Amino acid sequence: MSTTSETRSVAPPAKGEAPSPEFLEYLATKSRELENATPEEIIRWAATEYGDGLTMATAFGPEGCVILSMLAAIAPETYVFNLDTGYQFLETLDTRDRIARKYGIEVDMLQPELTVPEYEAKHGGPLYKTNPNQCCMDRKIKLLYRGVEGRTAWMSGIRRDQSADRAQAAIVGWDKKFGLVKVSPLANWTKKEVWGRILKDDVPYNPLHDQGYPSIGCYPCTQKVIEGESDERAGRWSGTAKTECGLHSLETDGSGI
């Protein structure tokens, strides 16, 4: 499918302004047009549409690694960052280095103002045990606000089949929480398609995926998935009602998450 269409581009709202109905309709139309496009076509459209206003956040999951491999061929100058909470697995950090060596993309590691020891001392111990939502807010979401400062659009690696909370993800939509256009090139891909591309193109990935961790976040809040659990994200915040850190939770005005 070609991404060329007669849809006229509509400028995104200025920082702090609400999107106009015309802009939301443009995003919805564009999302429908790109529904059957390849991820490469979606990335190419986003890079052309938003230029240096486009950014990407990655946790080096399989989807993020696949997008990085595509981005290296399409728009390698795109600013990409990681939310380095201080609680990441060493294998995750090593994956970042292997991606850089293969594709030449240096992912910026954004870190909170307080180190882990300082943060835990401030709160009388690990906050992820007593208030994981606040921990995610302080060490992830606030970092993302910093990473997207001055940007117009950001890309994510979410897939609709990952969880019920992500099933409504649009290819292109308005992210109300962060005041940005959100582009999800792999929204309509399956896990099989992602891993097929990884194996076909020898894309570097986190070796923990081979050890029973389908979804990897911070090590205190990530466990191996028990055999028989179908939800890919079952190992995240296991034993609690929490399923998302808040970056991709449903916070939408109807145009997508």
Residues tagged active-site: 245
Question: Is position 65 annotated in a ligand binding site?
Answer: no
Q: Are the C-beta atoms of 12 and 19 separated by less than 8 Å? A: yes
Question: Is position 221 annotated in a ligand binding site?
Answer: yes
The secondary structure element, H or E, covering residue 109 is: strand 108-110
Q: Residue 105 and residue 23: Cα distance in Å, rounded?
A: 32
Beta strand 180-183 with 172-175 is antiparallel
Q: Are the C-beta atoms of 85 and 188 separated by less than 8 Å? A: no
Choose among 87, 83, 41: nearest CA to 64. Answer: 83
Question: Is position 218 annotated in a ligand binding site?
Answer: yes
Q: Are the C-beta atoms of 150 and 51 separated by less than 8 Å? A: no
**Rg (Cα) of the chain, in Å, rounded?**
18
Q: Residue 247 and residue 26: Cα distance in Å, rounded?
A: 23
Question: Is position 136 annotated in a ligand binding site?
Answer: yes
Q: How many residues does the chain have?
A: 257
Tokens of 23: 């802009």
Question: Binding site for [4Fe-4S] cluster: what residues are annotated?
Answer: 135-136, 218, 221
Question: Binding site: what residues are annotated?
Answer: 135-136, 218, 221
